[in-house]
Chains A and B, each alone.
Chain A
Amino acid sequence: MQTLYDKLWKSHVVQEGSDDTALLYIDRHLVHEVTSPQAFEGLRIAGRRPWRLDSLLAVADHNVPTTERANGISDPLSRLQVDTLDQNCEELGITEFKMNDLRQGIVHVIGPEQGATLPGMTVVCGDSHTSTHGAFACLAFGIGTSEVEHVLATQCLSIKKAKEMQILVDGTLGHGVSAKDIALAIIGKIGTAGAAGYAIEFSGGTVHALSMEGRMTLCNMAIEAGARAGMIAVDDITIEYISGRPFAPKGDLWEKAIAYWRTLRSDEGVKYNQVVKLDAAIIKPQVTWGTSPEMVTTVDGRVPDPLQIADSVKRKDMERALKYMGLAPNTLISEIYLDKIFIGSCTNSRIEDLRAAAEVIKDRHIATNIKLAMVVPGSGLVKLQAEKEGLDKVFRDAGFEWREPGCSMCLAMNDDYLSPEERCASTSNRNFEGRQGPAGRTHLVSPAMAAAAAVAGHFVDVRKIH
């Protein structure tokens, strides 16, 4: 009997090594501007060429501006990094969606959107959120720059097999509760190192009831639970999503492909190294209060009190986090007021996320204390679709800024950032110190919760206002 992970692993072994390692063949290699320049340079110095050009897809996303793009990138360092990617791709003949291409967007949004992410693949990218692609029953994981160079040169990686964790979510999600809340609830339960050394398979009725967008959100956050990879078995929803996408197979090949893809599920009764169960019905909207995604509670909760914590290392971390976040112990989450709202990132910038946020703010307006509320669609195509549905107007009418696609304030490498001590409700994935700007304060939430907070000016339970 085999798990999904076993199947993906076995179908890519070029050569077995010692200690549970193997040389694995890589099907899809996604490339962005931040983690690739040194890899291309290494390749050049060694006089090597990319092994297989059609496995590569490149895009600039981290450094690109989200406002008027006609003038190019103003920061010379950001510009150099994007130019370097453009040059490397041109020189080597790598397919790239350049900044002004309609198909440009966050690397983890465009892969699936283009059908460049297909079930059964091994997918890598010099980016930890590559776990996102596991939603398509891929073995997808982030790699460092040395490994980017390794895959470019050899199409392979030497990898140690992970242990396997099944996260089983059953039950019906409450209205206004989303995949993001499931992800944060899981991380709250097992911790940011809870799945270190594991590959996670998300399964259960709740998971398979999610759209592909929701599944991507869930797998995206697997890395925040410490797992390098998260994955979900193929079902009809997977296949329907892929059908007709530009890079997806067509005609006879399509039929052949889906017959294979349907085998990409764990065998009934197979054993995992660890099983974690969650009841979806009791998951409430989640809000992080600290500087690690595991520092999370429910919207009706309070900021915890370090005095209640026995473990001294944990207590010190909590005290430090509260000081950084400018929060007093026992504060009600609903009494936390915000300065900025960010709806975007590879976690929550897909069309369904934008619809969920728009539904909440329709015919409402952002509160007067909100200095900036912005929506950064995950890709040019997401943006276009949203505009077709009139969502841009809903956001604009409510006082949101409607921006060009990219990573934006998820990590603030471009001009979008928090000023010191500004507080933000963000649909991104990391609330680390300085992540959205030096001394900026990030609270991770779902798109609907971010929208509700924009309207109220502080956190509110989206289930109550909507």
Chain B
Amino acid sequence: MEKFCNFEGLVVPLDRANVDTDAIIPKQFLKSINRSGFGQNLFDEWRYLDHGELGMDVAKRKPNPDFVLNQARYRGAKILLTRTNFGCGSSREHAPWALQDYGFFAIIAPSFADIFLNNSFKVGLLSIVLSESIVDRMFCEVNETEGYCLAVNLEDQMVTTPSGKSYRFDIDSLRKSNLLDGLDEIGLTLQHVEKIKAFEEKHRVEQPWLFK
């Protein structure tokens, strides 16, 4: 995983609650056995007027001009602003892969679904929880201000608006340090090999039926 750096990025507003992972990346694209290339099919059913399948040339497809990601003023957005319970539904990690592959560094919402939140941190995508009223205000500001950017500082856990207003967000210390250091979590866990083996032995004695 890459180290997560502070950044400033254009914000695109997706004004919906309960955006599910089927909408973020529809199932036909889950047939890919690769980890990359999902960005072009992010929000596929909302983003294009024709039906998409894996392997289609997106240059030949019909974008939906009404969908917010297709509007010229939001091109190159790095931050997705959205509503409550973002990422509900299936556990597909393809959802954060697609968001990241599209170019998003961070998602801001009043709440996230548990598995999505977890997955996003695993791949180095920052999910930021801000209160409903702050998110509401940001929606207004984005709509009113073309080129609306937010600065994200993970070390200080701050999001700063163009007018200089800063909002603090909470994040688990472990998730934060993993993002900042870009660590390989498997490698970290494997530092505890002896502990895992010791646990396993004890477990085997207590519940031998769990082992063959």
Residues of A within 8 A of B (CB): 14-15, 17-19, 21, 23, 25, 27, 34-35, 37-38, 41, 46, 48, 51-52, 54, 62-63, 75, 77-78, 80-81, 84, 118, 120-121, 126-128, 130, 142-147, 149-150, 153-156, 158, 160, 162, 192-193, 196-197, 226-228, 248-249, 253-254, 256-257, 260, 292, 313-314, 316-317, 320, 411-413, 430, 432-435, 438
Of residues 23 through 67 on chain B, the ones whose CB sits less than 8 Å from some CB of chain A are 23, 26-28, 30-35, 45, 51, 54-55
Partner of A257, one of B54, B83, B114, B209: B209
When distances are taken between beta carbons in the complex, the residues of chain A under 8 Å from B118 are: 143-144, 147
Interface presence of B113 (CB below 8 A): yes
The answer on a CB contact under 8 Å between A434 and B186 is no
Q: Which residue of B lies closest to A229 (CB)?
A: B114
When distances are taken between beta carbons in the complex, the residues of chain A under 8 Å from B112 are: 196
The answer on a CB contact under 8 Å between A226 and B113 is yes
Of residues 116 through 144 on chain B, the ones whose CB sits less than 8 Å from some CB of chain A are 118-119, 122-123
Binds A, one of B69-77, B160-168, B192-200: B192-200
Q: Using an 8 Å CB-CB cutoff, how does the interface string of B1-39 with A read, 1 for contact, 0 for none?
A: 000000000000001111010110011101111110000
Interface presence of B100 (CB below 8 A): no
Bound-state CA distance A327–B196 (Å) is 55
When distances are taken between beta carbons in the complex, the residues of chain B under 8 Å from A54 are: 211-212
Determine which residue in A34, A81, A126, A249 has the highest number of CB atoms from chain B within 10 A of its CB, and name it.
A34
When distances are taken between beta carbons in the complex, the residues of chain B under 8 Å from A150 are: 185-186, 189
Q: Which residue of A lies closest to B118 (CB)?
A: A144
Partner of A193, one of B54, B88, B122: B88
Q: Assess A253 versus B209: contact at CB under 8 Å? Given A14-B196, A77-B54, A316-B15.
A: yes
The answer on a CB contact under 8 Å between B93 and A145 is yes
Bound-state CA distance A360–B62 (Å) is 46
Interface presence of B156 (CB below 8 A): no
When distances are taken between beta carbons in the complex, the residues of chain A under 8 Å from B31 are: 34, 63, 75, 77-78, 80-81, 413
When distances are taken between beta carbons in the complex, the residues of chain B under 8 Å from A248 are: 209
Bound-state CA distance A118–B208 (Å) is 12
14 contacts between A and B (CB under 8 A): A18-B174, A75-B31, A77-B31, A118-B210, A128-B89, A128-B90, A142-B91, A146-B119, A226-B113, A292-B18, A317-B16, A320-B16, A411-B27, A433-B45
The answer on a CB contact under 8 Å between B90 and A127 is yes
The answer on a CB contact under 8 Å between B186 and A21 is no
When distances are taken between beta carbons in the complex, the residues of chain A under 8 Å from B210 are: 27, 118, 121
Partner of A18, one of B83, B173, B185, B196: B173
The answer on a CB contact under 8 Å between B186 and A413 is no
The distance from the CB of A304 to the nearest CB of chain B, in whole angstroms, is 16
When distances are taken between beta carbons in the complex, the residues of chain A under 8 Å from B185 are: 146, 150, 158
Q: Which residue of A lies closest to B50 (CB)?
A: A438
When distances are taken between beta carbons in the complex, the residues of chain A under 8 Å from B192 are: 14-15, 23, 156
When distances are taken between beta carbons in the complex, the residues of chain A under 8 Å from B209 are: 118, 248-249, 253-254, 256-257
When distances are taken between beta carbons in the complex, the residues of chain A under 8 Å from B27 are: 411-413, 435
Bound-state CA distance A154–B185 (Å) is 10
The distance from the CB of A12 to the nearest CB of chain B, in whole angstroms, is 8
When distances are taken between beta carbons in the complex, the residues of chain A under 8 Å from B16 are: 316-317, 320
8 further A-B pairs in the complex, CB-CB below 8 A; given A35-B93, A77-B31, A128-B91 = A34-B30, A130-B91, A142-B90, A142-B115, A153-B189, A158-B189, A256-B208, A292-B20
Bound-state CA distance A214–B17 (Å) is 30
Residues of B within 8 A of A (CB): 15-18, 20, 22-23, 26-28, 30-35, 45, 51, 54-55, 83-85, 88-94, 96, 111-115, 118-119, 122-123, 172-174, 185-186, 189-190, 192, 195-196, 199-200, 203, 207-212
The distance from the CB of A48 to the nearest CB of chain B, in whole angstroms, is 7
The distance from the CB of A34 to the nearest CB of chain B, in whole angstroms, is 5
Q: Which residue of B lies closest to A18 (CB)?
A: B173
Partner of A317, one of B17, B23, B190, B199: B17
When distances are taken between beta carbons in the complex, the residues of chain A under 8 Å from B91 are: 35, 126-128, 130, 142-144
The distance from the CB of B171 to the nearest CB of chain A, in whole angstroms, is 10
Q: Assess A80 versus B33: contact at CB under 8 Å? Given A19-B173, A193-B85.
A: yes
The distance from the CB of A267 to the nearest CB of chain B, in whole angstroms, is 20
For the complex of A and B, 9 pairs with smallest distance between CB atoms: A249-B209, A144-B93, A144-B119, A146-B122, A37-B33, A142-B91, A193-B85, A54-B212, A77-B31
Q: Which residue of B lies closest to A38 (CB)?
A: B35
The answer on a CB contact under 8 Å between A434 and B189 is no
The answer on a CB contact under 8 Å between B88 and A192 is yes
The answer on a CB contact under 8 Å between A434 and B23 is yes
The answer on a CB contact under 8 Å between B115 and A193 is no
The answer on a CB contact under 8 Å between A21 and B172 is yes
Bound-state CA distance A54–B212 (Å) is 6
Bound-state CA distance A150–B92 (Å) is 15
When distances are taken between beta carbons in the complex, the residues of chain A under 8 Å from B34 are: 38
The distance from the CB of B143 to the nearest CB of chain A, in whole angstroms, is 14
The distance from the CB of B156 to the nearest CB of chain A, in whole angstroms, is 18
When distances are taken between beta carbons in the complex, the residues of chain A under 8 Å from B22 are: 411, 430, 432-435
The answer on a CB contact under 8 Å between B122 and A144 is yes
Determine which residue in B23, B93, B185 has the highest number of CB atoms from chain A within 10 A of its CB, and name it.
B93
The answer on a CB contact under 8 Å between B174 and A434 is no
Q: Assess A253 versus B208: contact at CB under 8 Å? Given A18-B174, A150-B185, A155-B200.
A: yes
The distance from the CB of B26 to the nearest CB of chain A, in whole angstroms, is 6
Bound-state CA distance A154–B190 (Å) is 7
